[in-house]
Amino acid sequence: MIKVAIAGASGYAGQETLDRVLAHPALELWALGSDTLAGRPADALDPRLGRNGWRSIPRFITNEAALACGADVVFLCLGHEEAASLEPPARGVVVDLSGAHRFADPSVYESWYGFEHPKALGLEQWSYGLPEVSPPTGRLIANPGCYATAVLLALTPIADEIERSGVVVDAMSGMTGAGRGLKPSSHAGTVLENVAPYRVGEHQHAPEIAEALGFPVTLVPHLLPVRRGLLATCFVRSRGVDLREVLEGHYAESHVVTVLPEGVAPELGRIQQTDGAEIGIFEDRLTGITIVICALDNLGKGAAGQAIQNVNVVYGFEETSGLRLSGVLV
């Protein structure tokens, strides 16, 4: 069994990662880190963790202690700046779910994240882990952002077959994408019965998408009045190639990403609570523009599910081990 530690287990991404670790046949929960819950039992996070069958879950310890416990795998489910300041364990696999290690160029953090990266000299050691298009290499893995994951799944396989200028992405996500911390923009009075764009022209996932694709896109994110789920609609112009054929070929063997039949659109309702992703392809009859839509759960394939998938790839496990992919949810 592979021993696992989770730092920041009390946040949304941390709790989702914990849930998948508990369901994974080859992972053993070794340490639960949370500075706010340190010393308390696991059911302080969720009463369901105290029910029969989960009694072996360890008590919470500090994040520092979790990092130092000697686990084989460490998941960093922390804020960007906090994760950036940490020294990764000297051994084992580390998967960072924050944005703190997605760029080798430290100047990106000053421009897009608003802080100077304290570990700038080690950034090149981290690999960008998006299994379907950029499998992780090495033991230090940067988990992609949720918007970036959806856009890259939709566009990377066809990047060489589309015009690279003028690509526009209209994206929207549930409120859990903002994290568990309180902020005015995530209050019920702001979110409920409302849809609003935010960080227009300056979202931190835009340079992440550009670096992975090799060209920039215009990204406009919106906040939806739902708990979870993300949908990215990408407007591109083909260079004369059948883009549906390319995408279907790329994902033909995937058990995580589904290219939907012609005329079927992705929906949040089908991917919420799961680690899968749906892609739909449409042609605009008036303009000739191709519309590629990707839907996923921002806490699933956009965060915790992808982190588990990256560990599966690195260790050579079945890629879908521990993931939520089956079932017909209502």
- Would you give the DSSP letter of residue 105? -
Chain centroid, CA 202 distance in Å: 19
Short-list 300, 120, 133, 146, CA closest to 212: 133
Nearest in space to 302 (alpha carbons), one of 173, 198, 212: 173
Nearest to 5 by CA among 92, 127, 80, 85: 92
β-bridge mates for residue 280, sequence order: 293
Determine contact, residues 297/230, Cβ cutoff 8 Å.
yes
Catalytic site residue from 69, 77, 146, 234: 146
What is the distance of C-alpha 33 from the center of its chain? 20
Place of tokens 């416990």: 69
Paired strand residues for 293? 233, 280
CA 90 vs. chain centroid, Å, equals 25
Phi, psi angles (nearest 5°) of residue 136: -65, 150
**Residue 325 · residue 273 · CB < 8 Å:** no
146 catalytic? Reply is yes
Which two tokens mark 82?
Answer: 């906090």
Please identify every residue annotated as catalytic: 146
